[in-house]
Structure 1
């Protein structure tokens, strides 16, 4: 165990935050999964607990493995992975499976192992790395709109177009995060305005086409419109029902909560262990529990900003912000949905909600951040060794 901790590099506080979020997820997931067990989705609640534990163990193995890779290699890997991601997204559209009644085009079945994988989550991480690579590459060049269309925006829009029909919220988050990253990378505002306008135009055309020809392609336009309508005009819709139950759970929890495992609304919320787990946390652990979770994500945000600021390269800075900020943004959206500050999106709470793909891709992003942080530590140690060679030699003797 001591040898393992000795091999752990990177920002120790980020390691601690990730571990705390994972540990704090066990009881809420175990409690909320009773609803799925009762409906026959698994043999018992303990089965879901073990499944969640395995997902987290594999996730932290991903963090450990990825953080040992020098982050400069992610430049080349992103170029290789963009075509792979596009192929996987195409396969997902045509071969996607329905998971627990959810949309058929979000998951792809992995042959021989009986597992499913949400390709859009992988696409999001790969695309952010790719954009960070491109913006760092042109940092000393004069940026032209025409010159950036093919190498930068073509892959972005191809990925978004393939994700959009089945998962609008994920496509929207990726687009916003890409816009934020290129802005931080120095992309001219006048060009960004054109890109944002083009994105809105493409989305409008897609919605109009989907409404005019509903059988032409698999899409969830009616679901999106229903969720927005239920948010602006609360009623008896499915999204409105979920929000009502989430608000009841939050109101019931009060300051201290009703206690671990004593949630009542977990029996009525369809996605109590994933999309609405924050409501269950507040019901069982009160506003105190909700505040602790929110503080951990904000602490994580603070640490990734510190890591980015200390990175010795532009690519490192953009890479950390590109893969780190979406984690915090997704967490804030999930919590905002639970308290009805945002329409239902289907976004999970990173490292806390159940679900393999979400956990693994979050861990992949954290591993990349730690890789950048580890490189900074390596440089610092080298500087210290050069300043005090006699002291190091005496210690070795």
Structure 2
């Protein structure tokens, strides 16, 4: 057992928080799944729980496999890995899937097997890896704004563009993650300001155009305009079913919660096992449970900062920042939606919400982060080994000198040596 555990290397605190969140997730997922079974009529509780167990198990395997791989190898794949992902994203967007009159082309089915995934999550990771490579590669070079348009914003645009129509919230979070990583990577602020200014103007124009001409606006844009209108509104004519039920769940939780599995609002709250799972957690485990979950993500953020600060090179530093902060962004937004700090989105709570793609892509990011921290440990071990070897060599020299000195003293005290010297 000890030999097996020794194979799990890297930052031990990150491993602990990952396992803690994964184990905890079974309680709210098990509880919230009853909504899908008894209200929606989807499968069985045991079946859904076993499905979540499979997702978590595969996720832990993904973390283990990728944390054993040297992260420096990504330098060879990061510059081109995002290119085939763009093809997957446009293929997904071209499906034209509609649910409730809105664009829902988020999933791509794998032919031959009953399995689907969201390419947007892969695009997110590949983009963070590419930008980490770019910031490392050009860290000592000056480049013009036009050159950065080609090297930075063209890949960003090609990743975000096919995601935007069906999943505006994910596209917006990816863009925010990109800006954060570029800011930390010392991308020229004047260039970043130009892009942010252009994006802000286009966003405001799109919002008011959708408000003025709702019949001509893309379906998903109209959905988001409606969500923004509902956000914080007291108008009784506006449908606030999701957020009102989430707030009821949180209010019923009070300090200590109603108890595991005893949530009432899970029967009324849509997406109670994914998008609004934090509301169910607070209802069942109370304010204390909600704050403890928030605390785990804060501790994870702290460990990400520690790992990035100790990374052996800039590429590793930017990888940890880009991938780690993306996980924290998702967590903050999921919890913020439940308490109405943000408008309603479809972001999961990392490692807690049900869903295969979100769990696996989060685990992939964590595996890469742990690989960076594992490299730190290897360097420390090498330094410790070198120091031990130097200390052993020093002791050997001292022992040899002491032996020579004793030999000389013995020769000096021997009477025969005096006779021979005469």
TM-score per shorter chain, which class?
Answer: over 0.9
Runs of 4+ in structure 1 over 4 Å off? 96-103, 204-219, 235-239, 390-393
Aligned counterparts of 1:329 and 1:191: Cα–Cα separation in 2:
24
> Measured at CA, do residues 317 and 239 of structure 1 come closer, stay the same or move farther in structure 2, by a change above 3 Å?
farther
Alignment of 1:17-166 (within 5 A): 17-95=17-95, 103-166=103-166
CA contact (8 A) 2:169 2:346 kept: yes
Aligned counterparts of 2:85 and 2:202: Cα–Cα separation in 1:
21
Deviation at 1:147, TM superposition (A): 1.7
Partner deviation per Cα, 1:160-214 (whole Å, 9 max, x = no partner)? 1111111111111111110111111111111110011222344456557777998
> Measured at CA, do residues 123 and 212 of structure 1 come closer, stay the same or move farther in structure 2, by a change above 3 Å?
farther
Partner deviation per Cα, 1:114-164 (whole Å, 9 max, x = no partner)? 111111111111101111110111111113212211111100011111111
Residue-pair matches, total = 393
Q: Which moved more, 1:352-361 or 1:67-76?
A: 67-76
Residue 291 of structure 2 corresponds to 291
Deviation at 1:43, TM superposition (A): 2.2
Q: Which moved more, 1:225-234 or 1:210-219?
A: 210-219
CA contact (8 A) 1:107 1:116 kept: yes
Alignment of 1:1-397 (within 5 A): 1-95=1-95, 103-204=103-204, 219-235=219-235, 240-389=240-389
Aligned counterparts of 2:75 and 2:236: Cα–Cα separation in 1:
49
Gaps of 5+ in 1: none
Aligned counterparts of 2:16 and 2:328: Cα–Cα separation in 1:
16
Aligned counterparts of 2:392 and 2:120: Cα–Cα separation in 1:
48
Aligned counterparts of 2:102 and 2:277: Cα–Cα separation in 1:
17
CA contact (8 A) 2:102 2:220 kept: no
Q: Which moved more, 1:25-34 or 1:218-227?
A: 218-227
CA contact (8 A) 2:102 2:219 kept: no
CA contact (8 A) 1:121 1:358 kept: yes
> Measured at CA, do residues 39 and 246 of structure 1 come closer, stay the same or move farther in structure 2, by a change above 3 Å?
same
> Measured at CA, do residues 28 and 200 of structure 1 come closer, stay the same or move farther in structure 2, by a change above 3 Å?
same
Deviation at 1:346, TM superposition (A): 1.2
CA contact (8 A) 1:71 1:371 kept: yes
SS of 2:231's equivalent? helix
SS of 1:109's equivalent? strand
CA contact (8 A) 1:230 1:240 kept: yes
The structure number with the bigger radius of gyration is: 2
Partner deviation per Cα, 1:342-384 (whole Å, 9 max, x = no partner)? 1101111000000111101110110110010001111110111
Partner deviation per Cα, 1:226-282 (whole Å, 9 max, x = no partner)? 110001424467861111111111110111111111000000001100011001001
Q: Which moved more, 1:105-114 or 1:256-265?
A: 105-114
TM-score by length of 1: 0.93
> Measured at CA, do residues 210 and 244 of structure 1 come closer, stay the same or move farther in structure 2, by a change above 3 Å?
closer
Aligned counterparts of 1:317 and 1:258: Cα–Cα separation in 2:
43
CA contact (8 A) 1:28 1:280 kept: yes
